[in-house]
Amino acid sequence: MEKNELIAKMNSVLAGEFEVEESSITPDANIKETLELDSLSLVDMIALVEEEFGVEIKGQNVGQVKTFANLYDFVFDKLNA
Amino acid sequence: MEKRVVITGMGIYSCLGKTLDEVRDSLYNGVSGIVLDQERKDLGFRSGLTSKLEVPDLKGQLSRGQRVFMPEPAKYAYAATADALKQAKLDQDYIDAHEIGLLYGNDSTAEPVYKSVETMFRKKNTTLIGSGGIFQSMNSTVTMNLGCIFHLKGINLTVSGACASSSHAIGLGALLIKNGLQNIVVCGGAQEVNPYAVGSFDGISAFSVRESDPTAASRPFDKDRDGLVPGGGAATVIIEEYEHAVKRGAPIIAEIVSWGFSSNGDHISSPNVAGPAKSLEYALLHAKESHGLNVNEIGYVNAHATSTHIGDMNEAKAIDQILGAHKPYVTSTKSQTGHEMWMAGASEVIYSTLMMKNDFVAANLNFNTPDPELPALNIPGERVATHFDTFLSNSFGFGGTNSTIIVRNL
C-alpha cells in the first residue's frame, strides 16, 4: 500500500470509530487530543490499528506515537519492514 | 408506619413492541413475537425458535465513550429506562439533584465473554480485546451502564435470581422504599437474545422443537406443550414512595402491594409445588397485613408458566392450592413473548398493568387442548374483556428461586 493510500485509510477508520471530523486529523495533530482518547479508549485505538492494519503498537512505542504523523510512519514502517 | 410504593413510570423494549402503546396493542391482538432463527440452526441448536427483536442503534443518542461499554442487554435496558423515566417525569435536572436508586435484574452477558475469549485465543494479546470487554462481560453490566448514563446516585445493584431476577428487583426496590431508605428506585430486567447465551439451555432439551409452526410453539398449560421458547429485551418500572410521587406531581399508575418469595431448596432445574406455593402464600399474607387485601380481590394471575411440562403443572397446582375456590383468570403472556427470563418479572408486571388499565386479559395463545392433568384453573384461550383492579405476577427460576408480586390499580 502506498503511504498516501495508507494515510487516507487510517484517517477514515479513526474518524469513523472515534466519531470526529476527518478534517480534524492532520499530521501534526496530537492523537489523544484530537480523538479525545482517555486511558480506556487509547486501548481501543491500539486494537483498531491492529485489526485494520495488522500492526501492533506495544510497550514503549505507545508513548512514542504522539502525533498522527508518528502513527503513519510507525504503521508504514512496520508494514514495509 | 410502612410507606406505600407506587409505579410512576414504565418503559419496555420487547418483541411485542418498543412503546407501551405498541405492546398494549400486541397483547390485545394476540400477536406472537416468536420466529425460527436460521443462525441457531447453523450453530447446531436442537431448536432455532426465539423471539425476534433488533438491537437498538444508540448512535446519536449516546456517545461512543458510553456505547463501547454496553452489551446487548444494556442497550435494551437503556431504551426501556429512557422511556420509563420520561413517563415518570424524571428529567435529567431532577435526577442530578436527587438520590435515585437502581435495582435491575440480569443474570448473563454471554456474547462479550465469548468475544473476549475468542480474541484472546486468536491474538494472544489481551490489549486487543478492547476496553469494553471487561465492562460488558460482568453480570452487573446493565446497572453499571445505566447508573453512569443517567447519573443515578442511590442504591446501584444487579439482582441475579435466574428467571425471577427482575421480579426480585422490584420486590427489593419496594422493600427499600417501604422502609424509607429510598424515595425512587429504577427497577427492571434485561435479557440478551443472542444464541451464545442459551446454547447449553437448548442442549438440555428445554426448548420447544415445534419449528414448523413458530407462533404455536409457546403454549403454556396446553396438553401438547413441549418446552419453552427463549426471548428477551428489557423492561423498566419506576417505583416511588406514594407521598413523594404525589408531591412531585408524578403519574401514579398502580401500587406495589406486596412481594412474596421463597426458595425450593430442592432440584436445580426441576421445580416443585411447595416453593411456589409458599411464595404465593407470603405475597397474599403480606398483602392482607399491609393492605387488608383479600384473595378474592385478585382479578388476574400472570403465571410464570413457560410452556414446560413440569413447570406449568407444578405452578398450576400451587395456584390451585393457595387461591382455593377463588378462580381469577390465569394466563401466561409467555405464549406471546416466549420466556424473557431475567427480564420476565418486570416485563410481565408491565404487560399485566397494561391489561389492567385497558380492561382486558390477553389470550393465553395456543391453549387449544387443556392438559387434563392440570387442576381446574380459569385459563382463557381467547382475549377476555374484563375489569380487574388487582393482579398477581409469578416468576420462578433455576435453583428454585421464587418471587410473587401483587399490584393494585390506582
Which residues lie below 8 Å from residue B382, measured CB to CB, with a gap of 6+? B363
CB pairs under 8 A between A and B: 31
Handedness of CA B83, B404, B244, B294 (dihedral sign): positive
Instruction: Give Cα B3 to chain centroid, integer Å.
Output: 25
What's the gap in Å between the CA of A10 and the closest CA on chain B? 18
Q: Would you call A44 and B128 a contact, using CB atoms and an 8 Å cutoff?
A: no
Grid coordinates given for B354: 397494561
Nearest CA in chain B to A54: B123
Read off the pLDDT of residues A27-41 as tens digits, 9 standing for 90 and up.
Answer: 999 999 999 999 999
What's the gap in Å between the CA of A27 and the closest CA on chain B? 24
| Dihedral angle over CA of B54, B55, B56, B60, nearest 10 | -130
How many C-beta atoms surround the C-beta of residue B19 within 10 A?
12
What's the gap in Å between the CA of B150 and the closest CA on chain A? 20
- With 90 as the cut, is the pLDDT of residue A1 above it? no
How many C-beta atoms surround the C-beta of residue B275 within 10 A?
21
Q: Would you call B130 and A17 a contact, using CB atoms and an 8 Å cutoff?
A: no
Q: Would you call B68 and A44 a contact, using CB atoms and an 8 Å cutoff?
A: yes
The string of DSSP codes covering B9-77 is: EEEEEBTTBSSHHHHHHHHHHT---EEE-HHHHHTT-S--EEE--PPP--BTTB-HHHHTT--HHHHHH
Nearest CA in chain B to A56: B128
**pLDDT for residue B180:** 97
pTM: 0.97
In the block, cell 446519536 appears at B60
In the residue annotation, B291 being an active-site residue is answered as no
The backbone torsions φ and ψ at residue B13, rounded to the nearest 5 degrees and listed phi first, read: -130, 100
Chosen from B58, B63, B64 to mutate, greatest number of chain A CBs within 10 A: B64
Among residues B14, B19, B10, B12, the alpha carbon closest in space to that of B33 is found at B14
Q: State yes or no: ipTM above 0.90.
A: yes
In the block, cell 519492514 appears at A81
Q: Which residues of B are less than 8 Å from A38 in CB distance?
A: 65
In the residue annotation, B286 being an active-site residue is answered as no
- Distance between CA atoms of B375 and B317, rounded to whole angstroms? 6
Read off the pLDDT of residues A37-76 as tens digits, 9 standing for 90 and up.
Answer: 999 999 999 999 999 999 999 988 999 999 999 999 999 9
| Dihedral angle over CA of B264, B267, B273, B277, nearest 10 | 20
Q: Would you call B128 and A47 a contact, using CB atoms and an 8 Å cutoff?
A: yes
Please report, for residues B100, B169, B239, the alpha-carbon distance to residue B103 in angstroms, rounded to integers and kept in the order given: 10, 5, 11
**pLDDT for residue A81:** 86
- CB of B130 within 8 Å of any CB in chain A? yes
Q: Which residues of A are less than 8 Å from B127 in CB distance?
A: 43, 46-47
In the residue annotation, B163 being an active-site residue is answered as yes
Q: Which residues of B are less than 8 Å from A50 in CB distance?
A: 123, 125, 128
Q: Would you call B65 and A41 a contact, using CB atoms and an 8 Å cutoff?
A: yes
- CB of A46 within 8 Å of any CB in chain B? yes
Q: Would you call B127 and A51 a contact, using CB atoms and an 8 Å cutoff?
A: no
**pLDDT for residue A60:** 87
Q: What is the mean pLDDT of residues A18-34?
A: 97
Handedness of CA B104, B109, B112, B113 (dihedral sign): positive
What does the pLDDT profile of chain B (410 residues) look like in tens digits?
Answer: 789 999 999 999 999 999 999 999 999 999 999 999 999 999 999 999 999 999 999 999 999 999 999 999 999 999 999 999 999 999 999 999 999 999 999 999 999 999 999 999 999 999 999 999 999 999 999 999 999 999 999 999 999 999 999 999 999 999 999 999 999 999 999 999 999 999 999 999 999 999 999 999 999 999 999 999 999 999 999 999 999 999 999 999 999 999 999 999 999 999 999 999 999 999 999 999 999 999 999 999 999 999 999 999 999 999 999 998 999 999 999 999 999 999 999 999 999 999 999 999 999 999 999 999 999 999 999 999 999 999 999 999 999 999 999 999 99
Nearest CA in chain B to A40: B131
- CB of A54 within 8 Å of any CB in chain B? no
Q: Which residues of A are less than 8 Å from B131 in CB distance?
A: 40-41, 43-44
- CB of B159 within 8 Å of any CB in chain A? no
Nearest CA in chain B to A46: B128
